[in-house]
Each structure stands twice: as C-alpha cells, then as structure tokens.
Structure 1
Amino acid sequence: MLVAGVVLLLLGWLLHVGILQTLGIILLVVGAVLYLLGAIGRPVAGRRHYW
C-alpha cells in the first residue's frame, strides 16, 4: 500500500493530475498507519502483522 501510494503520488505530480496526488496521499497515510499498528504488535483486522 505504501508503494502504491508513492507511485500514485509521483504520477500525479509528474502528470499534473490532482486526483492521483490525492489518492497517493491517502494510500500513504493509510499504509503508514497500518504498518505502525502492525509493527507495535497490535492486531489489525484480526491479523497480528500487516504486510
């Protein structure tokens, strides 16, 4: 999810497409939150680790 967010953010920035930038930022934030929750050992959606 983090990689997809970075790719969308870069594509949106290079192509000047606002919706891709917005989606990229959203995916980065959600991916970072899920990664941090999984890294501290807190179960996310029934899973101990989020990959």
Structure 2
Amino acid sequence: MTTKTGKSQVGKSVESSLIAGTESFNFDLWASQVKRQMITSLQKHSRNSMS
C-alpha cells in the first residue's frame, strides 16, 4: 500500500512539473512575440514621425 501511494504521488509531482514547464515555455514564447510586435510598432511610429 505504501509503495503504491508513494508512486502515485511521484507521478502527480511529475505531471505538475511538466504542466508548469509548458506554461512557462508558452509565456516566454508569448513575451518574445509581444516584444517583437512592440519593436515593429515603435519602428513604424518613428518612420512616420521622420517622414
């Protein structure tokens, strides 16, 4: 019984860590996309003000 519960606990912890990893990865990806969009929009604004 004890080994069974211990095994299930380990499985749960692995699952939660995997979920957290994917969430952080998605956040990094989203942040990089937002940065790119901000840079492009700033470049467009600077070009408009120059011309």
Alignment TM-score, normalising by the size of structure 1: 0.48
Alignment TM-score, normalising by the size of structure 2: 0.48
User: Which structure is higher in helix share?
Assistant: 2
Ranked by relative contact order (alpha carbons within 8 Å, sequence separation 6 or more), the top structure is 1
Larger Rg: 2
